[in-house]
Amino acid sequence: MHYGADREAAEQTLGSLTGEGHVLVGGDLRDPDAAADVVRQSDDQLGGIDILVNNAAIAPSEGNRHRIDQTTYEAWQAAWRQMLDVDLLGAAQVTYLVARGLIDRKAPGFIVNVGSRGAFRGEPDFPAYGAAKAGLHAFGQSMALALAPHGIVVNTIAPGFISSDRQSAALEGPAGDDLRAQSPFGRVGTPDEVARAVLFLSSPAATWASGAVLDFNGASYLRT
């Protein structure tokens, strides 16, 4: 399990996992050298990486809102640089390193990118986030084509609003009812539901779905 900066929270999550053999590695994936070190440590401690889930991201928040008609040029640049570097380039760097390791070992593997419904519906308050996730979706499809001859399956999941810890304030606040009403189920998705979908996408049963982008938003946004 990788963390960017909050080691304490990562250790708590690690402690909640069942079974044995889990490892914890930290590093800023925006830095190519740090990304390489994260993959090297993981590979050494696990005896080889077979499944990669690209979940690291700078998520939308009040602190990084950058609507074009309400944001300074400096804040605009900072938001774009930060989100593209983490949400897209970080995933691309780690994917390269893990995929090359699998190719060198002549081993099959699975890569799952965690995208967003925002890549399709638009994110006027967080355009850099929407663009980064759209890029991640396209990157996943490119990698599905490039890596299939090596037996490596690449899929992407595009969740809608999920009831993670960082979204609890929004769900409990005045916007909570509107957020739940986005889906005809009258609720938002859960981390457990996303985890189960990722588990499927990283299993042999999902091999023939390689290159897919799975809409996972409770019918809150339907593509045509």
Domain residue extents for the chain: 1-47, 49-216
Which residues of the chain have a pLDDT value below 50?
Answer: none
As annotated, the active-site residues are 129
Q: What angle do CA 13, 220, 165 make, to 5 degrees?
A: 20
State the pLDDT at residue 167: 74
Domain 49-216, CATH number (from 3.90.1150.50, 3.40.50.720, 3.40.50.150, 3.40.710.10):
3.40.50.720
